[in-house]
Amino acid sequence: MTQQIPTPPPTGPASPEPRLAGVRNFRDVGGLPTLDGRRVRSGRLYRSGHLAHATETDAEFLESLDLHTVFDFRNAVDQALEGPDIPLSGVRNLNIPLSDPAAGEDFWTMVRDGDTERLRSILGDGKAAARMADSYRAMVVQRTAEHARVLHALAEDSVPALMHCAAGKDRAGVAVAVTLLALGVQREAILADYLESNAPHRRYRVRPGSGIPEARSPEAAELLAPLFDARAAYLGAAFDTIDAQWGGTDRYLAEGLRLSAATLDRLRDRLLA
């Protein structure tokens, strides 16, 4: 039987969501409301997990979106684990790691090889959730240059765009959130979109044969759960860091990311209706 290519989302906030066979957590962020009563245009900004396992039909659908740029926020360890993105005809792929080149290597070795007792010592008693919140804080403070590069690219010529990391919830989640803050989207709407990554069909799936178990036992699954969840506290930690470090979104954009008023205007012209 011939596979049917999902229909690209139409303009407007009521875009149907395609189910892609080899790409997790794909969605259009169009329709999200801004503080001044506008909305993000549909068909301009998408988010997803990595594209390494995209099927031929998935690729045909992604190419039908007329993407200009795919932003891949994975690092070398992620790409070694899952593989590079499949090439998409006519689409520019920008790899902008939002974590250190080898970040996570020792940790994932521990997850592969460690027993439940070791997992408990490293992740138990709230340490896994604290680790995640700390990583969101670090991305806000330490990755201003990378986030500024993304926003400048979007303002100039990189739309329509797709942003992804491995699961599409953490590094892509922060990058999408920063983009939406720059567009003036309400924080509540940004958080609601972020939490959509918890839907069962969107959650990260470890590639068979990678050596990383999604669960060895019920206790191991519980210990690992905070790493694979999208939690309000994680994105909240990023927002709180923006407020504590810069006193709010406007100064964060101007001083942290060094975005001029003209750049913000161009960005909003490209992405808002």
Q: What average pLDDT does the segment 180-209 reach?
A: 84
Q: In 65-115, which residue ranges form alpha helices assigned H by DSSP?
A: 76-82, 105-113
Lowest mean pLDDT among 98-107, 138-147, 162-171, 186-195: 98-107
pTM: 0.88
Q: Is the pLDDT of residue 4 over 50?
A: no
Token reading at 148: 């500024």
Give me the mean pLDDT over the 16-23 stretch: 83
Residues 6 or more apart whose Cβ sits within 8 Å of residue 260? none
pLDDT in tens, 78-121: 898 889 999 999 999 999 999 876 566 666 666 666 567 888 88
| pLDDT over threshold 50, residue 11 | no
Residues of the chain with pLDDT > 70, as a percent, come to 83
Q: How confident is the model at residue 2 (pLDDT cuts 50, 70, 90)?
A: very low
Sign of torsion over alpha carbons 210, 135, 231, 175:
negative
Q: How much is the average pLDDT of 3-25?
A: 60
Tokens linked to 63 = 């190419």
Query: Nearest CA to 53 among 26, 91, 18?
Result: 26
What's the whole-number average pLDDT of the chain? 87
Provide CB contacts within 8 A for 68, sequence distance 6+. Answer: 91, 92, 157, 158, 159, 160, 161
Instruction: Determine the pLDDT at residue 119.
Output: 83
pLDDT digits (tens, 9 = 90+) for 211-258: 555 445 778 778 888 888 999 999 999 999 999 999 999 999 999 999
SS3 181: helix
